[in-house]
Amino acid sequence: MFQNIALIRQYHERLTAEDSHRDTTALLERFDLCHLAAKRSYELNDRELFFVKLLRASQHANAAIVIDRPFAQVENMHTLSPIRKALELLDFPGIEGIILGYEWNRGRYEADGE
């Protein structure tokens, strides 16, 4: 997972491996996901995989992150609180998050009061 996240900025921004390693480590620490760094996607549960994908998507400057049906992607997630918290943790200028979902899940989207 580490390389999957780190390579985005190495490629697009021509970061050195050292700079990319430092930035990716800091990002994983911020999300408390360092324990996933050496794992492969098939070793992750749906929640872990979702957040790794989110981190990977955030690595492109001025990203527009579109989250399509988060409740279909992550079982046992009952509100959007974890996703909203993750988007706040990204705290990168220029990144916009858009969440799409089904009308029948409206209560789950509103459950955390946002």
The pLDDT score that the predictor gives to residue 64 is: 79
The three-class DSSP label of residue 111 is: coil
The pLDDT score that the predictor gives to residue 93 is: 60
Do you know the residue count of the chain? 114
Which pLDDT band, with edges at 50, 70 and 90, does 33 fall under? very high
pLDDT, average across residues 68-75: 87
- pTM beyond cutoff 0.75: yes
Per-residue pLDDT at 86 exceeds 80: yes
Per-residue pLDDT at 97 exceeds 80: no
Could you give the CA distance from residue 111 to residue 52 in angstroms, rounded to a whole number? Answer: 24
- Mean pLDDT taken over the chain: 85
By the 8 A CB rule, do 29 and 38 touch?
no
Could you tell me the two tokens for 79?
């509100």
Q: What is the DSSP string of 18-86?
A: HHHHHHHHHHHHHTT-GGGTT--GGGS-HHHHHHHHHHHHTTSTT-EEEEE-HHHHSTT--SSHHHHHH
pLDDT tens for each residue of 44-69: 999 999 999 999 988 887 777 888 88
